[in-house]
Structure 1
Amino acid sequence: MISLSTVWLWLDMLQRELLLFAAVWVAIGACNEWAMDGLWAWLRLSGRVRTVRLPRGLAASADWQARAGDGLGGGTLRGVAAVFVPAWAEAEVVGAMVRHCLSAWPHADLRLYVGCYRNDPATLAAVLGCAHDPRLRIVVHDRAGPTTKADCLNRLYAALQADEARSGVRVRSVIVHDAADMVHPRALGLLDAALDHADFVALPVRPEMQRGSRWVAGHYGDEFAEEQAKAMVVRGWLGAGLPLAGAGCAIARPALSAMAARRPSEGPFAADSLTENYEFGLAMAELGISARFLRVRDESGHLIATRKYFPGELEAVLRQKTRWMHGIALQGWDRMGWRASLPDLWMRLRDRRGPMLAMVLAVVYALLVLTPLLALARRHGLVPDHPMSPALAALLWLDGVALAWRIALCGVFTAREYGLAEGLRAIARVPLRHAIAIVAARRAVTAYLATLHSGTVTWDHTRHRALPAHPACCPAALA
């Protein structure tokens, strides 16, 4: 029988090993983040990157409808823009999304392709309610849903090809959106103008805060505010592949054709990928397709971005984060590998660190329980006292500074986009973000192993219940 004193000694040994493990890996992660912070700060201070703001009164100016060559976007498109919206079980939001999109973008050269499934009559009925607009094209998939989001996008691409062949008019660009996206009125002209300078253009995604889920849904705002104001900007400047976010991304027609040529039997999007948008962006970089990430504010100072409500229920959040981590960190490792340029390699390391980061976080929180418990045990002579080495003490000091810096920076970026109150909440939401990451990582590894065994991938759909353009759909979700 194991004595109680032996258990305490084992716990003491475990705590010392975990402390060394956490100290080393937190320091490595801190150096990675400080490199990103330093490069971003240098780019900002040197003026190499900046957030452009549209001048006031631009919408009323006489030449606004005619000019787009300055890169700020205009009211007249350079060619036909096709918007792809895959929709499965989106009856609660897709009708509002389509109506708002067609209203916010009144351009005659807009074509809105919405992909529905024959076994999803509710979504199909919601889209048919908007069929009075001739710019809307409803495409019913010939397969029963759900397949995968990429498969639905490929079906829309096939419909686009058929329309081009029938009309003899080739579109200039394809813009990908989700069924729960709220588009910005200035976004279409901005994307169209930017395609003069790059073949792939992405706008930020801005999660909207929800009064009914300030903590769970609110953590998306914390993550996106920093990631898209800093990491995506650095990524674009380095020339690394920009992941397609699946919302507010414009692809030049020749670039889409080049992607489709990689898999002629399927289409441009990888139908067997859980995170086809992410993989699509990196694959374009491998083909040498130029990309650009745009941060522009409108005349009122609001970010020209795709706004949306992210899940507000914990289980839905965990499912979505599990799919992201599974697709990017685990499946992406298998599918995309590590052969890339130095900037792309650095970004792939950052993208795929999720499971490792979650493990380190789990160890840190375990230490927060073990360390005071063992300190109490030492006071009562249950375990011996061990002097800490100077090297470990220095590492722990560095880790503490890094943690304080990361938390403060999270609050700053969130406050900059959502206001001071949300910035303070962002600091308080840090433990929740960590807990979600830890649980999602465990589920992602389990799901990845199951996929290896079954060899099948299905659309792990995130159900949307409200659209920012029509908050009456969900009164509790008002910001």
Structure 2
Amino acid sequence: MQTLLTGVAGGLAAFHHELLLFAAVFFAIGLVDELAVDILYGWHRLTGRLSTPRLPASALDEHRLSGICAVFIPAWQETEVIGPTLDHALDVWPDRDLRIYVGCYRNDAATIASVMTSARGDPRVRVVIVGEDGPTCKSHCLNRLYAALCEDEARSGVPAHMVVLHDAEDMVDPAALALLDYSAANYDFVQLPVMALPPSDSRWIASHYSDEFAESHAKAMTVRNVLGCAIPGAGVGCAIARPMLGQLAAQSGDGPFAQGALTEDYELGLRIAALGGRSRFLRVRTDDGRLVATRAYFPSTIESAVRQKTRWTHGIALQGWARLGWGGSLAQHWMTLRDRRGPLAALLLGLGYGLVGLAMVTHFLADMGVVAPAVLSPGLKALLLVTFAGLVWRIAMRGLFTAREYGLRQGLLAMPRVLVSNIIAIMSGRRAMLAYWRSLKGAPVLWDKTEHSRHPVLSLRKEKSA
């Protein structure tokens, strides 16, 4: 029995060693990838190409649109948040040439009523009823809004200047519309940053989005921009020049937004680049330091966060690969590979945490004298030291970017929240693979939307009344 136990334990130790080597090699490759982005970011910051310009808030707030701007907001069961979104947008964007198209479904009377109440008879708001029962897919709702815009343009004889996309839970920035209007004259697609607000009652789950967006939209997206790569859409705070939207519609025949796509916003930016359109990620602060960005709360429960990130991973990494393929420059291939690494990253993260547990077991068996203490080769030791140093560096960078946007306290919390990000990535990666497998068997693509019950505008009202 002792011989059998020793043999099993020895095999376990050898298995652990080989898996450790496998994981360390891939983590080292990932470290090189991240360091390359860090180096590019640091160099272009030093040379001034990635400096964040500051514009007077007064100049942006007083700007008037150079043409009709249509804002598309798809809404399915959004009674809790659509009202504050419209109230705020209409208040901070007083332009007469603003048109807000809200897509509602015929079987969602509550959302329709909320929109009508919030519109307060404002002629700038148009409720567009989707003829099918909801939810269909988000791109289907957006294409219905595009059809409504085309009908209005035909009646008035005046085409829109640009189309801006937003979600039902967004708090728009007062300066955003002017900034997008300036940029739409020179670019076909413009994306503003997204700020995931850290709620006080969800310091770990909802707030991990704050960390991820703070780093991604300050570093990774700006590096993409300076390299001249396609800018993927975030679905909110992005503007498309009206002629380009027409080109997309003519190309597909079903409307400009990709029917059947789980992440039609991500695909939008890449499809525009494929047509030769000019894109820009626009990061600007007002003279008082405010980042011009779209602000929103994100899921605060593990289940809702995993569901949302499952859709992102499924749509970008798996469905996007099948739908869009590979194209563009070498730099574009690199960025596309980074976009699609989600399932592999989830596998490696799961393997990494599993190896930590296995190391604890083998260490315990070695203390009992069942197996000899693990002996690592010098090469593997060096590789583990390098990847550990890389981990420390990555955690420090996450904390730094979070602290810059949300303060020192949130920056410090961002470091242990990396564990939360990793766990959610592992869970959503597994679910995304299963969902993609089901879609290959013909499962329909429906709007697997995130439930929203809180809005930044309501939080601000409570703070002011307190």
How high is the TM-score relative to the length of structure 2? 0.96
SS of the counterpart of 1:197?
A: coil
> Match for residue 308 of structure 1?
296
> Match for residue 306 of structure 2?
318
Q: Percent identity?
A: 52
> Match for residue 151 of structure 1?
140
User: Which of 183, 187, 191 pairs up with 1:198?
Assistant: 187
> Match for residue 364 of structure 1?
352
> Match for residue 55 of structure 2?
54
SS of the counterpart of 1:171?
A: coil
Cα distance in 2 for partners of 1:402, 1:112 equals 46
In the TM superposition, residue 74 of structure 1 has moved relative to its aligned partner by 5.2
> Match for residue 20 of structure 1?
21
CA RMSD of aligned residues (A): 1.7
Cα distance in 2 for partners of 1:287, 1:405 equals 38
In the TM superposition, residue 95 of structure 1 has moved relative to its aligned partner by 1.1
Cα distance in 1 for partners of 2:186, 2:160 equals 17
Q: Does 1:410 align with 2:398?
A: yes
> Match for residue 33 of structure 1?
34
Structure 1, gaps ≥5 residues long: 65-71
Cα distance in 2 for partners of 1:172, 1:366 equals 53
Cα distance in 1 for partners of 2:290, 2:183 equals 19
Within 5 Å, give how 1:36-435 maps onto structure 2.
Answer: 36-55=37-56, 59=58, 64=59, 75-131=63-119, 132-264=121-253, 266-385=254-373, 387-435=375-423
User: Which of 439, 453, 462 pairs up with 1:451?
Assistant: 439
Count of matched residue pairs? 462
One-letter amino acid of the counterpart of residue 43, structure 1: H
Q: Does 1:439 align with 2:440?
A: no
> Match for residue 451 of structure 2?
463
Give the conservation status (yes or no) of the 8 Å contact 1:73–1:194. Answer: no
> Match for residue 67 of structure 1?
none
> Match for residue 68 of structure 1?
none
In the TM superposition, residue 376 of structure 1 has moved relative to its aligned partner by 2.8
Give the conservation status (yes or no) of the 8 Å contact 1:83–1:113. Answer: yes
One-letter amino acid of the counterpart of residue 45, structure 1: L
SS of the counterpart of 1:429?
A: helix
Structure 2, gaps ≥5 residues long: none
Q: Does 1:10 align with 2:27?
A: no
Cα distance in 1 for partners of 2:170, 2:443 equals 31
List 4+ stretches of structure 1 deviating above 6 A: none
Higher helix fraction (1 or 2): 2
One-letter amino acid of the counterpart of residue 15, structure 1: H
Cα distance in 1 for partners of 2:376, 2:452 equals 51
> Match for residue 69 of structure 1?
none
In the TM superposition, residue 117 of structure 1 has moved relative to its aligned partner by 0.2
Q: Deviations over 1:437-472 (max 9, x none)?
A: 001111110111011112421110111111101227
Cα distance in 1 for partners of 2:323, 2:62 equals 39
One-letter amino acid of the counterpart of residue 200, structure 2: R
Give the conservation status (yes or no) of the 8 Å contact 2:61–2:174. Answer: no
In the TM superposition, residue 392 of structure 1 has moved relative to its aligned partner by 1.2
Cα distance in 1 for partners of 2:288, 2:456 equals 18
One-letter amino acid of the counterpart of residue 41, structure 1: G
Give the conservation status (yes or no) of the 8 Å contact 2:17–2:376. Answer: no
SS of the counterpart of 1:211?
A: coil
Give the conservation status (yes or no) of the 8 Å contact 1:81–1:110. Answer: yes
